Amino acid sequence: QVQLQESGPGQVKPSETLSLTCTVSGGSISSYYWSWIRQPPGKGLEWIGYIFSNGRTNYNPALKSRVTISVDTSKNQLSLKVSSETAADTAVYYCARAKEGDSFMDVWGKGTTVTVSS
């Protein structure tokens, strides 16, 4: 049973860069799309971007200038970096998996909370 586990600093200061990691266990990164999705407190789900196992990426146009997603297949990890953080980036951040050829996410991590505050 594949499991995803997000990890990160918990809190970042405004203008700093947020770095999160998603560790994939019990399965391979290959042949899947790996998305980052966030949820501000009390609000809905917002897709941030995805990376395919071959390194192809696609980002939410509203965040594209600040976001970088990468994958390390040797460690079975993907990472998310969001620069120039503001309070509006405070959210629970999830990683999620979609099989190649599918348009839905069948496995999600438990999420990690990030607070942007000085």
Partner 1 sequence: SYVLTQPPSVSVAPGKTARITCGGNNIGIKSVHWYQQKPGQAPVLVIYYDNDRPSGIPERFSGSNSGNTATLTINRVEAGDEADYYCQVWDSSGDHPVFGGGTKLTV
Q: Least distance in Å: CB of 116 to partner 1?
A: 20
Measured CA to CA, the distance from residue 15 to residue 33 in angstroms comes to 29
End-to-end Cα distance, the chain = 39
Q: Would you count residue 106 as binding partner 1 (CB under 8 A)?
A: yes
Q: Binding string to partner 1 for residues 14 to 53, with x set by CB under 8 A, is what?
A: ---------------------x--------xxxx-xx---
59 or 79, CB closer to partner 1?
A: 59
The residues, any chain, with a CB within 8 Å of residue 29's CB and separated by 6 or more, are 53, 71, 73, 76, 78
Report the residue from 20, 111, 114, 116 that binds partner 1 according to the rule CB under 8 A.
Answer: 111
| Binders in 71-100 for partner 1, by CB under 8 A | 94, 96, 98
- 74 or 103, CB closer to partner 1? 103
Name residues contacting partner 1, limited to 51-70 (CB under 8 A).
58, 60-61
Do residues 103 and 96 make contact, with C-beta atoms less than 8 angstroms apart?
no
